[in-house]
Structure 1
Amino acid sequence: MNRLFGLLPKPSPLRPESRVYDLKERLDWGEPALTIIDVRDRAEFNQSHITGAISMPTDSLLATAANCFEVTRDLYIYSNTDDEATAVADRLRGAGFSRVAIVRGGVAAWKAAGFPVETVITPVAEPPVH
């Protein structure tokens, strides 16, 4: 257990719409018990995503989420627009997930706040040497 728990205030509870600062506060607290889901396409995810996020494009999200997460897991969703993220969050709630939030502004807001992002580098195949 992290000794700082007693020094840091407990993070804000999950809200249906969360600011990037709310999510970062939970991550910094040290006991996040949450999953960050990027529902953009894989190419956009590979270019840049919130550190620790997983890629679950919208077309396969419900089936994948049902197999991967408890319905009481805190899920933070983001996409290219808040409207897209809200639509996905509503679908998850309709499928029985009770703790779903959108991250307002997505990866753009995360970057604007100066928080860390990750990229996925895919190796480029070298032409065969003859």
Structure 2
Amino acid sequence: MRLFGLIPTPPPLRPKSNVYDLKARLDWGEPALTIIDVRDRPEFNAAHIEGAVSMPTAELVDTALIYLELERDLYVYGYTDEETAIAAAQLRTAGFLNVSELRGGMPAWKAVGFPVETARAIAA
């Protein structure tokens, strides 16, 4: 009996994802992905997706090239879909192969009640 056909797999990375796609991937456990928040640092500190890293658009590509592998699965979000699309395009142009735009960004994540972190919660 083949067990490999029965083993569930996490949802695949798509060029555009909704918040449920990312949450399912996080719930999978050890998801081997990075969540990038491209909003400015005060917005990030006010609230961000749990586990996200801050890489404001102005420093995004330089920072990502230093710290992330080009093959890493990246979920990128900003405050608007336009901000997110611009950031994702910059990452793809820089050579990142697996970039997904989180549609709806932070507002969509908060609207469905998924976990967020704040600078205060991290410092505590």
Deviations 1:60-85 (A, max 9, x none): 11110000011000010000111111
Separation in 1, partners of 2:33, 2:11: 13
One-letter amino acid of the counterpart of residue 71, structure 2: T
Deviations 1:91-121 (A, max 9, x none): 1101100000011111111111111001002
Separation in 2, partners of 1:108, 1:31: 25
Deviations 1:19-58 (A, max 9, x none): 0000000000012100000000000001110000010101
Separation in 2, partners of 1:108, 1:8: 34
Q: Check conservation: 1:93, 1:100, Cα contact below 8 A.
A: yes
Larger radius of gyration between Structure 1 and Structure 2: 1
| Counterpart secondary structure, 1:76 | strand
Separation in 1, partners of 2:115, 2:98: 24
- Flag structure 1 segments of 5+ consecutive residues without an equivalent: 1-6, 123-130
Separation in 2, partners of 1:48, 1:67: 25
- Flag structure 2 segments of 5+ consecutive residues without an equivalent: 1-5
TM-score (norm 1): 0.85
Partner of 2:26: 27
Partner of 1:4: none
After the TM superposition, list the runs of 4 or more consecutive aligned residues in structure 1 that deviate by more than 4 angstroms: none
Q: What is the total number of aligned residue pairs between the two structures?
A: 116
- Share of identical aligned residues, percent? 63
| Counterpart secondary structure, 2:60 | helix
Partner of 1:76: 75
| Counterpart secondary structure, 1:27 | helix
Partner of 1:37: 36
RMSD: 1.6
Rate the CA distance shift 1:118–1:8 in 2: closer, same or farther, 3 A: farther
TM-score (norm 2): 0.89
